[in-house]
Amino acid sequence: MDSSLLSIDETLETAFEIFYEMAEDNLDYDDLLAYQARFDEDGAAIVVEASADWEEHVGFDVDRDTFVEVRIGLANEDELNDVLVRMLVSRDTEQKFCHLLWKRAA
């Protein structure tokens, strides 16, 4: 593993810090309350390969060796079924980058 890349655990820790800093300003009030009420039991985050739609959101070719997608939300029976934010996060310690797509009320 490239030592200049954050580990998955470090990436998740960074993603949660960003989420907590920005959630109140970006989530629908009801989603924020539900997350706060259920976090201890149902709060979850997963790291997945960056989805194909990220290029259109960020305007550049996403290197899947450097960037991962982090999804944070509420889980039900070990499945993340209420995604509150999708984040594109660079694991490169020299080139920090994060782009967030928040859940919005329909």
**38-95 pLDDT tens trace:** 999 999 999 999 999 999 999 999 999 999 999 999 998 888 999 999 999 999 999 9
Residue 43 pairs with which residues in a beta bridge?
74
As separate numbers, helices (DSSP H) first and strands (DSSP E) second, the chain gives 3, 4
Predicted TM-score (pTM) of the model is 0.91
- pLDDT number for residue 37: 95
CB contact burial 68-82 (16+ within 10 A = b; e otherwise): bbbbbbbbeeeebeb
**Residue 11 clears pLDDT 80, i.e. is over it:** yes
Mean pLDDT of the 23-34 span: 94
The token pair at 28 is 């629908």
- pLDDT number for residue 13: 95
- pLDDT number for residue 104: 80
